[in-house]
Structure 1
């Protein structure tokens, strides 16, 4: 007993802490890589030359955590590639976030309270290993392809001049590491804001009933839109016969479309433009709206989508019903002593934060183009490869192999609208919840009896 008391106590805990952090990081990366690989395989990126598929998977994971990918190459002054993409494949990022949150919380199970120093230590170790993983991911998300020029004039010029065109891509290091770190911090903050299982330091316990019910309710709404999107994707795949491409969208960018639909249903607007080919199927009304005349910017809103397809008006009642359900759920998970106005204000803030995050997550900036002596290269040569390298978001490029896609949320109107919707849904949800009993609650009649 005396010998055991004098044994070093800190080393095993420190080693276990680093192993726990490693488990969180590896689990998240494995989940994202698996979803990305399956989605890219369905999108047809598995037949890239020179063994480039693993690098494309790494680039997709880098994009999923907020990084950007640049494409460059050509053949000296005769051929040039000008391309880059900054867009988050949210299906990949969502899979990684959910897995990392679950592994992190399982390490803290069976606790109601945790020490502040212990929690900060776990977060710091996870952040340190995550930064190392981001650096390695950036290094792996790089590849160069040697490709034929294609037919016609491009091939003739290339043969005459002995050109060996190359196109490569690489993840931007500072962007991937910097925004990837912010992504992890948002995931961990969201985990403790949403989950009842997450133990908090004693100093934060008074705030859990202020934040968690509304945060959990909005998280449920976002997951509800993902579930609706999965059902719609399966129905589309069966009805239209493009199962492979549709499931690629589901595995790579389903939340991008679903959460955009939530914001549009609340009245928010996105501004952007699409030129060239998009590659994979997206809702036709959205693609038609984004194809604005040259030099003009398109507005994606409930009205512009309904002009293309009247069924888009359903986005309004769906958003209203789901947000009202969120208000009811938030109030039902809160103590009865919370006044109605506080329910309304809390859900208003949570809705505004959710829409702001959706705006950041659905932001797209993609430009891709190539030329040989000023002549565009089509699908058969460098254009087709560039489209494949761009991944599922770009797809095989059509025409001259040039295009762009931009999509940005207009925050100045979106946030007030979201807050107003949350205020109304929070108040109505609290009124409905007041008429419903809570689990474990003893009726007043029992006390009077």
Structure 2
């Protein structure tokens, strides 16, 4: 009798109403963030009522979905376009809201069966996929592209070569990657939260995994918080508030997490040409703009602005603080060398994630009579940014070992205050 009553309460806690609320809250939060960011970027003025559809496509890309670009310019011309970028501000907001909804009914419990967790996650996933499907079907539009000059636009209409660009979501890939994204959010939420229950077989891993996972989330969120402060100061001192709002609400983590890896000594490669550009800070655009592939690291950035070296100091402080938090949440018996190993592994995985989601690729061009070299006309452009992965991971391991060992020493007097899995926090 008691078992049936307990089962009924579990179903009530993990029912469909709560699942619908959790999934819709995440999607709505992402939609509002994307809409405000795109408004700041001027997307509200797009022709043919494209703004809501661009918002839908932005949410799709934020969860790893795929958006295909296409275009043409009549019978004698073609447009080519491609875009690969994840608006990580939208991604972060969705992850935080969805994770909070997922964890809420699981609070104040030490253990939960794998079947219970899987059933609760599956309910949310069903609603999530239905909402994502609606966004994917809505995220498609085709509209004319201005040639940048009234005379050119008139000639384009006369000769039937007015460029038209369009975008459409790839529905199957969007649902697949969206489901993987949601599963990743659930797993990370269980790893980070001390108050979330785990299946009995996984309890032995929580003392080593949860403090490190929590420390990395704190590190990433601290970078974003610092970025918000810098953005607000920039908006107040230099103006351009709508553009700054667009950066904050669409791509602030893209920039601050890139800066985190550069402060560790990582090197990125990229190029900016044509009408494309990086919104903030300007020093990135100055280093990358040109016809050749440029190297983006501390040395090349310092040639444009010597203040870039402060990234090393900021990284050292943030990593030391994160390592202290990790060690303070670990059992008191944890030696400093073990904290160093845990921190190194966690930081390597974090930098790997940044390198995978921080890549940028965009291009646009017009081919007329089979001639595609129209770069000098201003009708084409290219932008890409990619990391040198293995060197970035190696440097992350070294920084993690040093910061983890220091954090373990500093936290000796406080370690074990809040034991992992005690149900607090």
TM-score by length of 1: 0.85
Cα distance, 1:350–1:134 mapped onto 2, change above 3 Å: same
Out of 321, 324, 328, the residue aligned to residue 324 of structure 2 is 328
- Is residue 67–residue 86 contact of structure 1 (8 Å, CA) maintained in 2? no
2:310 is the alignment partner of 1:314 = yes
Helix, strand or coil at the partner of 2:197: coil
Cα distance, 1:233–1:15 mapped onto 2, change above 3 Å: closer
Report how far residue 131 of structure 1 moved. 2.9
Q: Which moved more, 1:188-197 or 1:19-28?
A: 19-28
Measured against aligned partners, the alpha-carbon deviations of 1:168-201 in whole angstroms (never above 9, x if no partner) come to 2112334323322222122111111111121111
Q: Runs of 5+ in structure 2 lacking a partner?
A: 420-425
Matched with 2:378 is: 400
Helix, strand or coil at the partner of 2:126: helix
Residues 353-368 of structure 1: matches in 2 within 5 Å?
Answer: 353-368=349-364
Q: Considering only aligned residues, what root-mean-square deviation do their CA atoms show, in Å?
A: 2.9
- Is residue 270–residue 410 contact of structure 1 (8 Å, CA) maintained in 2? yes
2:317 is the alignment partner of 1:339 = no
Matched with 1:134 is: 132
Report how far residue 148 of structure 1 moved. 6.4
2:118 is the alignment partner of 1:120 = yes
- Is residue 71–residue 81 contact of structure 2 (8 Å, CA) maintained in 1? no
Rounded Cα–Cα distance in structure 1 between residues aligned with 2:376 and 2:231: 24
Report how far residue 361 of structure 1 moved. 1.4
Measured against aligned partners, the alpha-carbon deviations of 1:80-105 in whole angstroms (never above 9, x if no partner) come to 22112110111011000000000111
Rounded Cα–Cα distance in structure 2 between residues aligned with 1:102 and 1:72: 38
Residues 38-437 of structure 1: matches in 2 within 5 Å?
Answer: 38-146=36-144, 151-159=150-158, 161=159, 166-278=164-276, 281-292=279-290, 294=291, 296-370=292-366, 400-436=378-414
Rounded Cα–Cα distance in structure 2 between residues aligned with 1:430 and 1:6: 46
Rounded Cα–Cα distance in structure 2 between residues aligned with 1:214 and 1:157: 58
Rounded Cα–Cα distance in structure 2 between residues aligned with 1:99 and 1:323: 26
Measured against aligned partners, the alpha-carbon deviations of 1:260-282 in whole angstroms (never above 9, x if no partner) come to 11111111111221111235631
Helix, strand or coil at the partner of 1:107: helix
Q: Which moved more, 1:281-290 or 1:320-329?
A: 281-290
Rounded Cα–Cα distance in structure 2 between residues aligned with 1:15 and 1:347: 35
Cα distance, 1:284–1:275 mapped onto 2, change above 3 Å: same
Report how far residue 110 of structure 1 moved. 3.0
Cα distance, 1:157–1:253 mapped onto 2, change above 3 Å: closer
Q: Runs of 5+ in structure 1 lacking a partner?
A: 379-396, 442-449
Helix, strand or coil at the partner of 2:106: coil
Measured against aligned partners, the alpha-carbon deviations of 1:374-401 in whole angstroms (never above 9, x if no partner) come to 799x9xxxxxxxxxxxxxxxxxx99623
Measured against aligned partners, the alpha-carbon deviations of 1:138-187 in whole angstroms (never above 9, x if no partner) come to 2111012256665224523522x466753321123343233222221221
Rounded Cα–Cα distance in structure 1 between residues aligned with 2:150 and 2:55: 29
- Is residue 99–residue 186 contact of structure 2 (8 Å, CA) maintained in 1? yes
Report how far residue 337 of structure 1 moved. 0.9
- Is residue 366–residue 406 contact of structure 1 (8 Å, CA) maintained in 2? yes
Rounded Cα–Cα distance in structure 2 between residues aligned with 1:362 and 1:224: 18
- Is residue 142–residue 170 contact of structure 1 (8 Å, CA) maintained in 2? yes
Rounded Cα–Cα distance in structure 2 between residues aligned with 1:50 and 1:11: 50
Helix, strand or coil at the partner of 2:265: coil
- Is residue 66–residue 87 contact of structure 1 (8 Å, CA) maintained in 2? no
Report how far residue 244 of structure 1 moved. 1.1
